Amino acid sequence: GLYGPGVYFSDSPQKALHYAKTDKHLLLCRVLLGRFFFTSDPFRRTSRLPCIEYNTCRQDVCSHDRFSSIRARPAADGRHNEFIVQEKDQCYPEFLLVVKTA
């Protein structure tokens, strides 16, 4: 993905449905973001989440603490947020939604 490896979520059903294939099923999930890194630019620099000292530390391998997740608002459209987590324990599916289109 544009923001590295992880599970991608959106606060926009339209964005989520964009990725749905023929079946229009969505999972409504609780996502624990913790301390998130915000960006509007693609972030593919590393497979790890950025370090807390991101503005001053440009090393791929460092001993700084890491952000818990990424919150992205792509500059291309700016209409939705994307949330990326790397740990499965950060997301909890609550409902399966079946979307019917007219």
71 membership: H or E segment, kind and range: strand 69-72
What CA–CA distance (Å, rounded) separates 59 from 36? 19
- What pLDDT shows up at residue 18? 83
Tell me the pLDDT tens digit for each residue of 82-100.
999 999 999 999 999 998 8
What CA–CA distance (Å, rounded) separates 59 from 18? 35
Alpha-carbon Rg for the chain in angstroms: 15
Quick check: 70 pLDDT over 80?
yes
Question: Sorting pLDDT into bands at 50, 70 and 90, what band is 25?
Answer: confident
Q: What is the pTM of this model?
A: 0.82
- What pLDDT shows up at residue 102? 64
- Count of all residues that appear for the chain in the document: 102
